[in-house]
Amino acid sequence: MSAPVIDGGIKAASLSFRGMLLRDAAVSFAYRSGAISGKGERLTLSKGDARVVVDDIDASLGYHRGALEIERLIVRAEDLLLRLEGRTDPATGLDMSLHAESTGNGKALSFLTSMPIEGVVGVEGRFSGAITTPRFDGTLHAGPATVRG
C-alpha cells in the first residue's frame, strides 16, 4: 500500500480568532510522505480599524512521530519579513531559529504589537526549552526607529 498523497486548497471569506479577523484567505497545500508544503498570497488581517496585508506565506513542514520539522516558514507582510526554521517535539522541546525584520514605515510591526513603530527593527534568535515554557534567546537591532505611545 502506498503512502497517501493529498493536494488541495482552502478558501475562506472571513475567519475570526482572538480579536483578529482574517479575510480573503486562500491557501494551497500538498501532503506527501509526512511532508507538507503550503503557499498563500494576499491575505488580509484586521484588528479593529487597523489592517495589514500578508503578501506571501511559503511553508515546507514535516511531521514524523509527533515532531514537527519546520524546514521553511517565510511570511512577507507589507514591510515585514519573518523566517522560522527548526523543530518542535513534545519529547525534546523546541529548537527553532527566528529572523524577523521590519523596514520602512513599520505598518506590519505596529499592527502585530499594537504600538506605533516606524523604522528599521529586526530580531534574530532561537527558541528552546519545553513547548509549554519556551525560552527565546536573541538580539534586537533597531535604527533609526521611532516608538510612539
Cα 136–Cα 58–Cα 17 angle in degrees, nearest 5: 65
> Shortest CA distance to 109 belongs to which of 75, 133, 58, 62?
75
What is the chain's length?
149
Residue 148: predicted pLDDT: 74
Burial of 97-107, coded b for 16+ CB within 10 Å and e otherwise, reads ebebbbeeebb
Question: pTM for the whole thing?
Answer: 0.85
Mean pLDDT over the full length of the chain:
90
DSSP state of 133: S
Residue 19: predicted pLDDT: 87
Residue 149: predicted pLDDT: 65
pLDDT in tens, 52-110: 999 999 999 999 889 999 999 999 999 999 999 999 999 999 999 999 998 877 788 88
Phi, psi of 109 (to 5 degrees): -65, -40
* C-alpha to C-alpha distance for 57 and 143, rounded to whole angstroms: 27
Phi, psi of 10 (to 5 degrees): -130, 135
